[in-house]
């Protein structure tokens, strides 16, 4: 059994050596001889990964004296092959209108403030946060309550 295994191993090692001989100039002498080979990593867009972290919800404190904002920051991490891009955009739905549930007579309106334009990302990015807020400019004349509106984050990925 041991002999068979040894022979098998020898055969394998021989084939291994043979493979090298197919790829580059063989080293056949037992004296020092060097040969340089290039090592390539082969990747494509299928290896691209990204994560965009957005709030589950945005809470805006009430302010009887003026404007108030809630944090709508988002964070991007990505590892994209050269030429691939990631774009993140945020927008207020329905003009930012906010209603109560059930819908009543009063409404509020929020607008996005901060870095509101779409942001593009490429290459290797680690936890880059984009500053964004949802702001209500005035609470005057409105019964105090929980008013809800919606904003949408849109992620667009373009492979190389």
Partner 1 sequence: MKKVLSVALALVMLFAVCVPAFASQTITQPGQTPVDVVTLTTDINGNPAANFTVTIPATVSIPWYGTTGGDSINWSYTSQLNIGEQLQISLDKTSGNLTNGTDNLPYTLSGDAADAAYVTTDEVESANCSTAIAVTGWDDVPVGAYTDTVTFTVEVV
Among 25, 33, 93, 128, binds partner 1 (CB under 8 A): 93
Determine, following the binding rule CB under 8 A, whether residue 46 of this chain makes contact with partner 1.
no
What the block records as the tokens of 118 is 């779409």
91 alpha carbon, distance to own chain's centre: 19
Per DSSP, the residues of 129-140 read: EE-EEEEE---T
> By C-beta, is 1 or 141 nearer to partner 1?
141
Interacting positions 119-148 with partner 1 (CB under 8 A): 134, 136, 139, 141-148
> By C-beta, is 65 or 117 nearer to partner 1?
65
Distance CA 75, CA 131 (A): 9
For residue 102, is the peptide bond before it cis, meaning its omega torsion is within 30 degrees of 0? yes
Determine, following the binding rule CB under 8 A, whether residue 81 of this chain makes contact with partner 1.
no
Candidates 13-21, 22-30, 53-61, 114-122: pick the segment binding partner 1 (CB under 8 A).
Answer: 53-61
Residue 72: exposure state from Cβ atoms within 10 A (0-12, 13-18, ≥19): buried
Residues that bind partner 1 (CB under 8 A): 49-64, 68, 70, 72, 92-93, 96, 98, 100, 104, 106, 108, 110, 134, 136, 139, 141-157
């Amino acid at each position: 059994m041991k002999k068979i295994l040894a022979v098998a191993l020898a055969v394998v090692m021989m084939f291994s050596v043979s493979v090298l001989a197919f790829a580059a100039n063989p080293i056949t002498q037992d004296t020092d001889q060097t040969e340089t080979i290039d090592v390539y990593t082969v990747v494509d867009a299928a290896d691209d990964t990204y994560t965009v972290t957005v709030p589950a919800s945005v809470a805006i404190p009430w302010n009887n004296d003026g404007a108030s904002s809630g944090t709508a920051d988002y964070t991007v991490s990505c590892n994209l092959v050269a030429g691939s891009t990631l774009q993140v955009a945020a927008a207020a739905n329905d003009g930012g209108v906010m209603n109560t549930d059930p819908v009543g007579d009063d409404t509020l309106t929020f607008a996005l403030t901060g870095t509101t334009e779409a942001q593009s990302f490429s290459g290797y990015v680690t936890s880059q946060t984009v500053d964004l807020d949802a702001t209500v400019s005035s609470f005057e004349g409105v019964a105090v309550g929980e008013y809800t509106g919606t904003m949408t984050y849109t992620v667009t990925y373009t492979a190389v």
